[in-house]
A and B are shown apart, each in its own frame.
Chain A
Amino acid sequence: MKRKDFLKKALPATMLPFFINGINIKAMASTPMLEAIKRASIKNGRVFVLIQLNGGNDGLNTIIPIDQYSNLSAARSNILIQQSKVLALTGNSNTGMHPAMTGLRSMFDNGKVSIIQSVGYPNPSFSHFRATDIWQSASDSSQYLSSGWAGRYLEDIYTGFPSGYPNANDPDPLAISIGYAVSTALMGPTVSTGIAISDPTSFYQLVNGTVDPAPSTPAGHELTYVRLVLQQTQSYNTTVKTAAQSVANKATYPANNSLGDQLKIVANLIAGGLQTPVYTVSLGGFDTHSSQVTSAGTTDTGSHADLWKKVSDAIAAFQTDCEQLGIADRVAGMTYSEFGRRIKSNASLGTDHGAAAPVMVFGKNVNPGIIGANPTIPASVTVNDNVPMQYDFRQIYASVLEDWFQTSSSKTDSDLLLKHFDTLPIFRATLGVKKVQNSSSLTLMQNYPNPFKDFTNIEFISPGGHVELRLFDSQGRMIKTLINGNVAKGNYTEILDGNNLPAGNYYYQLITANGQVGRHLIKM
């Protein structure tokens, strides 16, 4: 709103090389991830769009576990979507979508969405800022990395960036982050400034391309940084503008939808020929501590519904646009948020910071369907209880890197994600996806006795090879690793000594070469 007020007195058009339809484009943005993403480019023509949902999305009201309704109702009756209103997903009677997500539901039914259940990481952070860093950098919970996951990959291909870029072979920005402005009126009437002097590139012409040497002080360091931004702004200015002007969008995007506005530009730039492989867009407002629904009696409207209508409509329009522009084969994207929200709702018609949540990957070349089981909601939920992770978010990154961008798995392990993560069958096998897991072949039995006091038995079948059996508490903290090593094919029983465990809900997870599976247990 404040921006709209401002836009009434729009600035001169000469100022707008990085504005397209009123959205400002940052060819080099400055998050830790993008700082590193800007390092390189991709050669197989594929594009990946990262859609960040800022604030922590309530996954349980997004991808809804229909088979958990009675327990959900006990835990979050004031915000739970009425079961009859949940959107059914073809072929998945136990899982549905928020009623606002009609666009994504239709894409799912048409085989263009892969839903990955309960994505997180061990020992989750509940801080927005730390959790966001973890997702951007692909670090462990206790590890601090300054580079981004995609950036490490890109840097590996285009060594030396930014020195010497752009050049004849790589004229385009390596990643583009698109910021948000509500109005498309920015290119409208201007104050009459007649301003050839607004061109920030003129300085370089003025002094024949030479600049004073920067002193070797902190000030010199910052001076060099500012000059780099100036140079790259100048360099990418033309390519971005040319790409944007060379084709027009073909689909109709939803009105008053900032995410749609951003994705519209992404489609425009891809179709316009930019070789930029990674785009980031974002939508804020998911930190729904209060009023995520209108009222306890009207839970299908409110801020969370508004947000998902925006996301769903925007992605659906983007997908249609990509198809009509003939670029859908090489475009995919994902939604993610720094964490999910608590199973139990609070009294403000909202939810506090939580742990794992679903991620959606979309595009013509995704392997459609749902990966993983619905989260299991305990019968008695305390304020501490969280959705436990089934999949590590870095498994999705590994799949994007290896199956979409086709890096080698050894490279992914050693340099990009800094340890091994199994890929998930997110992309279609026709892309040359190296391995498709079949988690249905995994067997992990419900422990007995359950609930238990002292000891309980966990039975599983090892397919042979490396096996890990982990125990998590209700907040997602990894309490112990029960097994971690090579286990020959066969049936096993692991005895869990619960004498030192506080009473509460726990979750155990089996990871094998065939995938991973988990179950809940209760300590009395």
Chain B
Amino acid sequence: MQRRAFLTKTITDKTPVKDPVLALQNQKLPDHLDLGVASIAPYTGTWGKAEARHLLRRTLFGFTKADVDFFAAMTMSDAVDYIMNIPNSAPNPPLNGYNTIQISDPNISAGQTWVNGPDDTNFVNKRRNSLYAWWMQQILNPDRHVREKMTMFWHNHFSTEVETVGSPIIAYNHHKLLRDNCLGNFRSLVKSITVDPAMLVYLNGASNTKTAPDENYGRELMELFTLGKGTDSQYTEDDVKNAAKVLTGWRINNTNYTSFFNANNHETSNKTFSTFFNSTTITGQIGANGALETDDLLNMIFSKSDVVARFIVRKLYRYFVYYVIDSNIEANVIIPLADDFKTNWEIKPLVTALLKSQHFFDNNNMGCNIKNPIDVIATCSKNFNIAYPSAPVEDQYQAWYSMFTLAAYAGMTIGNPPNVSGWPAYYQSPQYTEIWLNSDTLPKRIFITVALMAVGYQYKTGKKLQADVIAFAQQFSNPEDPNQLIQDTIDLLFALDLSTTTKTTLKQSTLLFGQSTDSYWTGAWNDYIANPTDATKKGNVTTGLQLMLKFLLDLAENQLS
């Protein structure tokens, strides 16, 4: 709605926009660019590697050529189903990978998990870092399912900050709730989140009490988690206050890290809501039944099913497709998906329908998403076959943790979004994902990826995370042909192709070492293949490949997904 109001204003702008660069303000984008066919009918067009790569760019954190081949061999429908059918088994929980020579955890030995408690004030920071490292491990896994991207979506949606929540155990349990239900039932997830200990800490629900209700969660439940703040969402300030009263009494048991309802803290009066909620009265309940009012509240909120469903569908759309939603897309993509979603609040069929749609695979929706920093880091890791230690556990956690810190350096600290609304890239109109990039973060991204690719990242004395650029080239069918190597690389890394001129410049200035005949590269490559242990020959091809990849990683195209 903000966007629509914004467009109305744009049209009346008094200065005609002559310079195309001014379109960078996004003001002309929706008017002049084709956003693709707005239909959620299943896609029936060509299913080839380009389409498979588009699907993988949007649903996985990085992929390899083998992944593309795997999915391109299926049908589109089977490929989406494969991605959506996440395994039932949850990953093993985070471990003690934090012991050092100086200090070791007296209760949890190395390689054992700490999530079963109890918390230990001496190891709070180490366990949080263990959680971040473990999460990064999941993201960096060569998994072919949507779980990590969906978990990130809900982490951004039901935003909490591990550093604020405090207890690493409560933070892990919260994360597990999102992960286990990332394609589950949204209605149930909202209920679970409402009484989730991490959320009760983060938005003060655990101190919400009848004598002076704390409105923090009641407000964000409506504004950020379910109804949104659009023109169709007309709940009132009194509704926020009444929701806070309904929710009084939830408390945390710090022995077993669960929540419970304390009737002594509950406001037992009747709560009457505004006409937006049809003047619903939630009858005050005494004793343990006070907890049932929370269900009444959620029933009332979800009775505004169009508002809730469209709010969630728009957010998912912006995450998986593009941030511009015009009236055509609203009418023919958002609303039809929302109409199905509101019948049962199941997330999996909703996302599946979006990913299988004509709209999703329209050429105009390819390559227009700016990657978030996690995507940049993970893509770099998978593209370039960065190897992680398989033991000891301390090295493993240190390595994963260092990848977490690199993403934080580029502006995305998983576990700790900036505030309760998540990252601005997913809500701040009009720029949305462009917000990830500015003069501070863009050079950092480029630096990180180039450094990982070319020189490695030292996460511990004598231990490096580093790309294997030769393995990268060897995954392609004809690495000795510089033209095909460059084209295969561009196809894997970028959603957009480069011009012949640029590819020629790239080839000559990198693989051909400043020369103009292809045989310089072919000869160097074949020489290396014939003498794989010859350090000089290996060094020659390594340098050529690093220069080629550095050229490509510097390009703006590498920021797009």
Contact = CB atoms under 8 A, between A and B. Distances in A.
B21 A26 contact: no
Contacts of A207: 502, 505
A364 to B, nearest CB: 31
B29 interface: yes
Contact of A230 (B125, B551, B556): B556
Given A229-B437, A289-B204, A144 B6 contact: yes
A348 interface: yes
A411 interface: no
B522 interface: no
Given A126-B237, A206-B505, A229-B437, A223 B560 contact: yes
Interface in A47-62: 54
A240 to B, nearest CB: 9
A146 B443 CA distance: 27
B447 A146 contact: no
Interface in B475-503: 495-496, 498-499, 501-502
Contacts of A179: 440
Given A30-B431, A129-B427, A11 B440 contact: no
- Most chain B CB within 10 A, of A25, A222, A229, is at A222
A159 B18 CA distance: 11
A128 B19 CA distance: 35
A54 B125 CA distance: 26
Contact of B214 (A146, A233, A290): A290
Contacts of A5: 129, 405
From B9, B125, B424, name the one whose CB has the most chain A CB atoms within 10 angstroms: B9
Contacts of B32: 216
Contacts of B73: none
Given A32-B428, A128-B419, A219 B496 contact: yes
Nearest to A165: B21
Nearest to B322: A218
A163 B437 contact: no
Contact of B455 (A25, A195, A284, A344): A195
B454 A197 contact: yes
Contacts of A352: 214-216
A516 interface: no
B259 interface: no
A130 B240 CA distance: 15
A296 interface: no
Nearest to A208: B505
Residue in B322, B324, B438 with the greatest tally of chain A CB atoms within 10 Å: B438
B560 A228 contact: no
A449 interface: no
Contacts of B26: 221
Given A9-B405, A130-B229, A226 B559 contact: yes
Contacts, number: 255
Interface string A139-163: 0000111100000000000011011
B554 A202 contact: yes
Nearest to B415: A2
Contacts of B550: 197
Contact count band on B: 35 or more
Interface in A8-61: 9, 11-12, 15, 17-18, 24-32, 35-36, 54
B499 A212 contact: yes
B440 to A, nearest CB: 4
A198 interface: yes
Interface string A335-362: 0000000001111101011000000000
Interface residues of A, number: 88
A162 B24 contact: yes
A328 B9 CA distance: 39
A225 B214 contact: no
Contacts of A200: 442-443, 446-447, 554
Nearest to A236: B439
B550 to A, nearest CB: 5
Interface centre among B23, B424, B439, B442 (most CB of A within 10 A): B439
Given A2-B163, A179-B440, A9 B402 contact: yes
Nearest to A14: B447
A228 B409 contact: no
Contacts of A223: 367, 496, 556-557, 560
A227 interface: yes
A347 B368 contact: no
B27 interface: yes
A12 B456 CA distance: 12
Given A146-B10, A160-B19, 15 more contacts: A54-B419, A128-B420, A146-B6, A198-B451, A200-B447, A203-B554, A212-B502, A215-B496, A217-B33, A219-B560, A221-B23, A221-B33, A224-B20, A225-B370, A290-B214
Interface of B: 1-2, 5-6, 9-10, 15, 19-27, 29, 32-35, 125, 128-129, 132, 163, 203-204, 207-209, 211-216, 219, 223, 229, 237-238, 240-241, 322, 324, 363-370, 402, 405, 408-409, 413, 416, 419-421, 424, 427-431, 433-435, 437-444, 446-447, 450-451, 454-455, 457-459, 495-496, 498-499, 501-502, 505, 509, 550-551, 554-557, 559-560
15 contacts: A6-B405, A30-B438, A130-B229, A193-B451, A203-B554, A207-B505, A211-B556, A218-B35, A221-B26, A221-B29, A221-B368, A230-B442, A233-B442, A284-B419, A346-B207
